[in-house]
Chains A and B, each alone.
Chain A
Amino acid sequence: MATAHSRAAARLTMSPAVILLLGWMLIPLVMTLYFSFLRYNLLMPGTEEFIGTLNYQYFLTDPAFFAALGNTLALVGGVLVLTIAGGIGLALLLDQPFWGRGIVRLLVIAPFFVMPTVSALVWKNMLMNPVNGLFAAIAKGLGLQPFDFLAEAPLSSIILIVTWQWLPFATLILLTALQSLDSERLEAAEMDGAGALDRFIHIILPHLARAMTVVTLIQTIFLLSVFAEILVTTNGGPGTATTNITYLVYAQSLLQFDVGGGSAGGIVAVVLANIVAVFLMRMIGRNLDI
């Protein structure tokens, strides 16, 4: 069926996409790698020189790096746990028959379509602000002291904001998976005397396993590079309390103009993401039958 002619055509039609992506991946990455071995500061043009692995030594021994690594892990892990647990709960709820299902579904998925800068600013100012925010007003109404979320618990607050953004995604995917579950299996198990918890652990959870992997893997890609939410709420602070790797590299290169150091950080970020990606590709490859 696939003749030599059609093979050639296939190669021709694929080449623009492949060449563009190859260029997008390789050219900047090679440049980053090259810069990472230079002393290169945008404020001191003309002083670039080769300094070996010095940038890496500075970056990897900087206490800010360990703080950022820890924050990145906490952010990714925290949001994953909250969205998957919450997503399963919501999917089970939305799968029940009730009045206005379609509308509630629309309400639940809405946060996913809110751009990151808007959701971060709305949460920061209108909800979490200790003076004028709605949470403060509620606390005062209950006779409690308002809580300054972004100053007292900055990382948890950002985790909360990002969870709000990603919960709809997890819910939607888990709900889609749940709806493909054969209801006869559940009924049969119920007949055999399996309680609700048994049915959940032995039938529903295994059925959702694949959807849960997909959610984990895809969210991880996006969560590793959370940026806007940090930029507009805390600028990585107080101190380095909410600086993740992405923000650290941004600050080093575009705020301190240290191209060499920032590039070394960028390469470190690529290596870390690759470790995650290896798991990711294997999992997706196994789950997709091409």
Chain B
Amino acid sequence: MARATTNRKKLVVTLIAWTVGIVIFFPILWTVLTSFKTEAEAVATPPTFLAFHWTLENYTEVQQRSDYFLHFWNSVVISVGSTLIGLMVAVPAAWSMAFIPGKRTRDVLMWMLSTKMLPPVGVLIPIYLLFRDTGLLDSRIGLVIVLTLINLPIIVWMLFTYFREIPGEILEASRMDGAGLRDEILFVLLPMAVPGIASTLLLNIILAWNEAFWTLNLSASQSAPLTAFIASYSSPEGLFYAKLSAASTMAVAPILILGWFSQKQLVRGLTFGAVK
């Protein structure tokens, strides 16, 4: 009897939870479905849900009309590039903060976090003018530089919260055995830190992929990543829902899949270790 009521309760919760989940996911689902429709069917009243003529023509058309793969490649270069450079700078810094904490370590960490609170518009104009005068405007290198800098505090913090959990005794033991600083980092710290570094890498690629202030303001046709490429659909001509959907699906799919794999790290990374 008790079992039956638990099961009935579970069934009710299942129904409610799935309904809520599907409602929240619906805009994405609808976009994916629309991307396989013809333009006429995309705006048909009443809307068709599954019973429509499935087609792939939108995907080929998006590539033909504008060089989709160029923008996709820009997104890859900018997000991966800025993340790797950020890691190169942040790993040594987070390493010393976690293992040789000084009196000011805490202040330095808090200060780094505070740079994240500097609103981007506060520095938009000088960066724009500097980039214009140095030819970095609408270049991938320029965007890599900016995204490295804006995400550096998050990278340092995330790595710090992971490194802090590595037991210090192991490092001391290796030091006793005569390992130098370089050996210590390469052969002792890095292998133990790989999971933390991997999580940081993943989360940061996601953040950089979706960054849409600097990429919109500093890029034009050449260096535009997908965020800026999609924005060009905001002034459309004629029927474009199916093409917009195809472009959106391709822009979102890779990072959505990465994101699903990194949901645990997301919480930890974005709360700077405050919630685990």
Name the residue on A nearest B247 (C-beta).
Answer: A118
Query: B122: CB under 8 A from chain A?
Result: yes
Residues of B close to A31: CB separation below 8 A: 125-126, 129
Q: Separation in Å of the B275 CB from the closest CB of chain A?
A: 5
Query: B227: CB under 8 A from chain A?
Result: yes
Interface size on A, residues (CB 8 A): 106
Beta-carbon contacts under 8 Å, B57-93 to A = 89-90, 92-93
Contact of A221 among B34, B90, B116 (CB under 8 A): B116
Contact of A98 among B17, B89, B109, B116 (CB under 8 A): B17
A269 CA to B121 CA, complexed, in Å: 7
Q: Separation in Å of the A16 CB from the closest CB of chain B?
A: 5
Residues of B close to A168: CB separation below 8 A: 24
The answer to whether B30 touches A127 (Cβ under 8 A) is yes
Chain B interface size, under 10 / 10 to 19 / 20 to 34 / 35 or more: 35 or more
The answer to whether A227 touches B213 (Cβ under 8 A) is yes
Given contacts A173-B275, A246-B121, A276-B117, contact A17 B90 (CB under 8 A): yes
Query: A256: CB under 8 A from chain B?
Result: no
The answer to whether B95 touches A13 (Cβ under 8 A) is yes
The answer to whether A35 touches B126 (Cβ under 8 A) is yes
Residues of B close to A125: CB separation below 8 A: 236, 241, 244
The answer to whether A225 touches B248 (Cβ under 8 A) is no
The answer to whether B28 touches A110 (Cβ under 8 A) is yes
Residues of B close to A121: CB separation below 8 A: 230-231, 233-234, 244, 248
Beta-carbon contacts under 8 Å, A140-199 to B = 140-141, 164, 167-169, 172-173, 176-177
- Stretch from A22-30, A57-65, A75-83 forming part of the interface with B: A22-30
The answer to whether B125 touches A253 (Cβ under 8 A) is yes
Query: B176: CB under 8 A from chain A?
Result: no
Query: B52: CB under 8 A from chain A?
Result: no
Residues of B close to A96: CB separation below 8 A: 13, 17
Can you list 12 contacts pairing A with B, beta carbon distance less than 8 Å?
Answer: A9-B181, A18-B108, A29-B126, A117-B234, A118-B252, A132-B43, A169-B266, A214-B274, A227-B216, A228-B213, A276-B117, A290-B109
Nearest first, the 10 A-B pairs at minimum CB distance are A13-B92, A28-B123, A10-B96, A113-B259, A31-B126, A228-B212, A107-B21, A17-B93, A104-B21, A28-B126
